[in-house]
Amino acid sequence: MNLERVSNEDKLELCRKYYLGGFALLPFLWLVNVVWFFREAFVAPPYGEQPLIRRYVRRSALGLGLWGVGLGAWVGVFQTQRAQWGPWGDYLAFTLPLGTP
């Protein structure tokens, strides 16, 4: 998408939609929001909607970071503790490794 062709009001609305969409357990939308609107928020010359876009981009980056930390923590716990959870850990696994843990 070429943001240069879009009005500032439409940029703000699109940025807001991607920000709110991230709360629907879609952190990929926050990543898209940060990548697409970073220049508009922090590099472009000032305009009226820019402070709100900047707020949404910062919050999207924060949400994405928290999701990353949470996912990394879950992966670490799951990889190290799955064998100790017995059958319940096996039910959570997509593929079961062969051999003895």
Against a cut of 0.95, is the pTM above it? no
> What is the per-residue pLDDT across 57-79, written as a single tens digit (0 to 9) for each?
999 999 999 999 999 999 999 98
- 42 three-state secondary structure: helix
Q: Is 99 part of any domain?
A: no
pLDDT at 101: 60
Q: Is 98 part of any domain?
A: no
Q: Is 59 part of any domain?
A: yes
Asked if residues 60 and 18 have their Cβ atoms less than 8 Å apart, the reply is: yes
The angle, 0 to 180 degrees and rounded to 10, between the axes of the packed helices 27-42 and 8-21 is 150
Q: Is 13 part of any domain?
A: yes
Q: How many domains does the chain have?
A: 1
Neighbours of 89 (CB within 10 A): 15
- Residue ranges making up the domain that contains 57: 3-92
Detail the DSSP E strand segments found in the chain. Answer: none
Q: Is 14 part of any domain?
A: yes
Q: Is 97 part of any domain?
A: no
The angle, 0 to 180 degrees and rounded to 10, between the axes of the packed helices 27-42 and 50-81 is 140
